[in-house]
Every structure is written in structure tokens, then in C-alpha cells.
Structure 1
């Protein structure tokens, strides 16, 4: 967990969501980095759909799926979350950096 997330958690800013529980329950992890970034390392079981291709590929996802987006820092994954939510996906969470998510997956 990054410093900003720890501060938000301490001051109870934002949603109180446990990404670890969401992942353990079987959420789909969508990594929105480029294929080259994804090839350099990624969360086991994640699906690579680059942010610039999300509109074209989101049909592969079901609107009732629980989805966690991730990228290198959390910026693109935040955009991906907003895009998916704008298209009717209701259970989308920004997981931030893919590397931080590795703490939740064995």
C-alpha cells in the first residue's frame, strides 16, 4: 500500500474497500498497461487490455463481473475504472499498481 492510500485509510477518506478480499473472491484483474510493460512483469492471472484498446475489448467482459483494474502507478487504472463504469460495469475497483497487488496473490 502506498503512502497516499495509507493516509486515506488512516483518515477514512474514500471508499473502505479491501482489494485483497475482492481478489480472493475471484475478481478479474485487468492490467491496462501496454503489451511490452505487461511482458516485463504482471500479476499472475491478470488479463492485459491496454487502456487505449479498452473500448474495443470491453465486450469480452461481462457487466456483472467484479473487476479490479491495475497499471504501473494507478493513473491509467483509474481511467479504466471510469471508462468501464460509464459503460455500465458496476463492480469495478482501481487496484492501482500491479506490483502492489502482488501482496494479495500467492
Structure 2
């Protein structure tokens, strides 16, 4: 994220759009109750607290997009996955951002 986007909150979603179009593994890292209240079609729920125990679910995925409610947990999830050796992880930010991208590009 560049200086402008970090200051003003406008994100460049170009990479996110590309990996979603390529069929990325969509992972909602919110709690199961948050996930049940609404998420992104075709997303799986792996809460941030369970991410380390569920790491095998990410193996072999070409692209991974993690997202949450505000973008904080997705940032932490990306860091955990990157430290675990995954190089193909994109932080999608909020689930509503990912949902909008899916709707706009379908």
C-alpha cells in the first residue's frame, strides 16, 4: 500500500481483482458467528485464532485471499501465512470489499 492510500484509505485493488478472477482460495478469518451473519459466496471460514491449526488447508492453493471485518485480522492472517512459507497471499481487507469486487467482476 502506498503512502497516499495509507493516509487516505483508498486501496489499489488491482492485484486483488486479478487473483479473485483467477479463482483464489477465499478465506474469511472472522469468528464463526460473524461468518454466519454474512460473508462472501464461496468463502471458507477459518477464524484467525484457528489459523495455525488449519494451515494444511492452504497447501497447494495457487492464490489465497484473506479478509475480515475491518482489515486488522486479515493483515495478521497474511503475516502468519507468509511466515509459514506461503508467498501467494493477498490481504483482501474487509469482507464487504471482497464481496463488492466479486459482484463488480462477475
Fold match, TM over 0.5? yes
| Structure 1 portions without partners, runs of 5+ | 10-15
Q: Which of 6, 24, 34 lines up with 1:37 in the alignment? A: 34
Confirm or deny: 8 A CA contact 2:35 2:45 kept in the other structure. Answer: yes
TM-score between the two structures when normalised by the length of structure 2: 0.83
The CA deviation at 1:33 is 0.2
TM-score between the two structures when normalised by the length of structure 1: 0.83
The CA deviation at 1:58 is 1.1
| Structure 2 portions without partners, runs of 5+ | 1-7
- SS of 2:91's equivalent in the other structure is strand
- SS of 2:51's equivalent in the other structure is helix
Which structure has the highest helix share of the two?
A: 2
Confirm or deny: 8 A CA contact 1:33 1:71 kept in the other structure. Answer: yes
| Equivalenced residues, count | 97
| Residue equivalent to 1:19 | 16
Q: Distance in 1 between the 2:71 and 2:51 partners?
A: 16
Q: Choose 20-29 or 35-44, whichever is displaced more.
A: 20-29
Q: Which of 24, 32, 54 lines up with 1:57 in the alignment? A: 54
The CA deviation at 1:18 is 2.4
**Residues 1:63 and 1:84: Cα distance change in structure 2 (over 3 Å):** farther
4+ aligned runs moved over 4 Å, structure 1: none
